[in-house]
Amino acid sequence: MNFRLFFASITLVLFGFTAHSAEFVPNSDITLIVSFKEGSGTDIGAKILSKYAPKYFKHNLIIKNIPGENGITGWKALINSKPDGLTIGYLNLPTFTSYTIPPHNVFKIDDVVPICNHLTETSVVVVRSDSPYNSLGEFVKTARGNGGFKASTNGEQASNHTATQLFASTAKFQYEAINCNGTADQLLSLIKGEVDFCCAKVGDVASLVSEEKPLLKILGVFSEKRLQTLPQVPTLHEFGYYDKWYGSLRGIVGPKGMTHEMVKYYEDNFYKLLNDPEVIAAHKARNLYIDFRDPLTFGAMILAQEFFCRDVLPTLYHEKKE
């Protein structure tokens, strides 16, 4: 079976890409909802877009941070926005899709209309720079015999919590999850020494591991092959742990009811924006990895992440409770 065509065909049905006749052009500034606090990984990427947006959109792209409930508060605000093309927002995967399946069922994936994917971020395992562990093997050996390790996460069953579960379950050690309200608080908890380790995204920790006096160090990456940007850091797969890529997709969506013309307007202008050399350089400076995907492809990615959450997450969190 051609799974790309399979997901694409279902995406057309689920998200209802229907055409209208009138061309859409915003008549005022545009609100971009970020469902996490200022300083989070999503917020950092959004600020880059906001800075350069007027060049292409002819209006300001105004960031509205609505943190709370691991993203739920902001996503509810986005979904309940008027579908007039003036309010769009970030969708973080797989966190959003984890709320579309039992026992949560907070959202349905067709509550949003895909516009484009912006960033693809690979997950990493990090510890404090003064941690005694200099390799993933050393860390796991101690964790297996300790049983008292703590890990901060970006929220209960949010993306970084899931990464931690994938790591711990495949490396066969136990830990206590300390769930924070977003990645910024999660990393602060690690820096302050309240926990032993955490899993986050490369872009989230880049500035904390590359300083003259780094606060954190990366022990491993969730990838089948070493990252070109971190060739010295081994993959979890090399140690016999989780053997697939895992990370976060940060894409842009609108509320259900947006027209095809509205989506097309944003798709075209975000494509131009994200191919601007100055914008590309700004992303590289923050170790953010642009991965533009069109509405249909991004819709298929949302659907695939819902399958992941339905098939994989229950086994991870079931194991945790046993």
With the CA atoms of 174, 236, 194 and 67 taken in that order, what torsion angle do they form, in degrees rounded to the nearest 10?
-100
Side chain identity at residue 260, one-letter code: H
User: Quick check: is 322 in a domain?
Assistant: no
Residues of the chain above pLDDT 70, percent: 91
Q: What angle separates helix 313-321 from helix 159-171, to the nearest 10 degrees?
A: 70
244-294 per-position pLDDT tens digit: 999 999 999 999 999 999 999 999 999 999 999 999 999 988 888 899 999
121-145 per-position pLDDT tens digit: 999 999 999 999 999 999 999 999 8
Contact 126, 205 (CB under 8 A): yes
User: Quick check: is 321 in a domain?
Assistant: no
The boundaries of the domain holding residue 147 are 123-246
> Which residues contact residue 294 at a Cβ distance below 8 angstroms, ignoring those fewer than 6 apart?
116, 267
> Which residues contact residue 148 at a Cβ distance below 8 angstroms, ignoring those fewer than 6 apart?
176
Please tell me the number of Cα atoms within 13 Å of 133 on its side-chain side: 21
Contact 304, 73 (CB under 8 A): no
Separation of alpha carbons 311 and 102, rounded Å: 11
User: Quick check: is 59 in a domain?
Assistant: yes
Statement to judge: residues 38 and 132 lie in one domain: no
- The pLDDT score that the predictor gives to residue 301 is 94
- Lowest mean pLDDT of 45-54, 72-81, 155-164, 245-254, name the range: 155-164
User: Quick check: is 320 in a domain?
Assistant: no
**Number of independent structural domains in the chain:** 2
User: Quick check: is 165 in a domain?
Assistant: yes
- The pLDDT score that the predictor gives to residue 3 is 43
Mean of pLDDT values over 185-200: 97
Closest Cα to residue 97, out of 70, 68, 125, 64?
70
Q: How far is CA 69 from CA 21, 33, 206, 240, 312, in A?
A: 39, 15, 26, 34, 22
Do the bridges between strand 176-179 and strand 290-293 make them parallel or antiparallel, or are there none, so unpaired?
unpaired
